[in-house]
Structures are given as C-alpha cells and as structure tokens.
Amino acid sequence: AQRVTQPEKLLSVFKGAPVELKCNYSYSGSPELFWYVQYSRQRLQLLLRHISRESIKGFTADLNKGETSFHLKKPFAQEEDSAMYYCALLNQAGTALIFGKGTTLSVSS
C-alpha cells in the first residue's frame, strides 16, 4: 500500500529553535517524496523534492529508506515559516501525488 503519515497535527516552536516535521511513508520500491507548503491565505505549493537534495528557505529533507522517513528540518525557525506543511509521495504509476494529512507549524517570538 502507498501511504504517507504525518504524525503531528501541530508543531509549535519559538523563533530560532530547530524544527523537524515528521513524515513516514509506505511504498514498494524507490519512492519519490516531496514537501508542499501552504502559507496563510496562499495556495498549496511545492517546497522541495528529495531527489534534488536542495535547501529551500533553509529547509532540508533527507530520505531515509531504512526508517521509511522523509522528515523536514530547519536549524533555526523563523516566524515566516508558520504554515501548513504536507508530505507527498508520487504514486507507483508516476501520475499522481498521495498527500499526508499535514502538520501546522507555528513559530512564535
């Protein structure tokens, strides 16, 4: 079965604190994983993809096949990082995304 699990509904941190948004997946084969973000009153948009191994807005995510995880991390949270974050998995056919339920990140000063 193809599934994405985001165990935390809400993560609250203070500005400057490290952030880790958890994502676990279930997939047969080599998964392609992504993080999408939705800022307040904005559209859902792609934040980063595991295959590019890039850092976007200070966020990184490493695919750990042993733990079937793709956690999103940032060493120092900023208030503008407050948003809803969705982990997503490309389906086996490569035709659609399977989303997790999302985690709301709240960064306060």
The contact set with another protein (CB under 8 A) reads: 4, 9, 32, 34, 43-46, 49, 86, 88, 90, 94-102
Rounded to whole angstroms, the Cα distance separating 87 from 85 reads 7
Nearer to another protein, 93 or 109 (CB): 93
Distances in Å between the Cα of 69 and the Cα atoms of 16, 39, 53, 65, 80 are 24, 24, 15, 7, 25
Nearer to another protein, 52 or 109 (CB): 52
Nearer to another protein, 89 or 107 (CB): 89
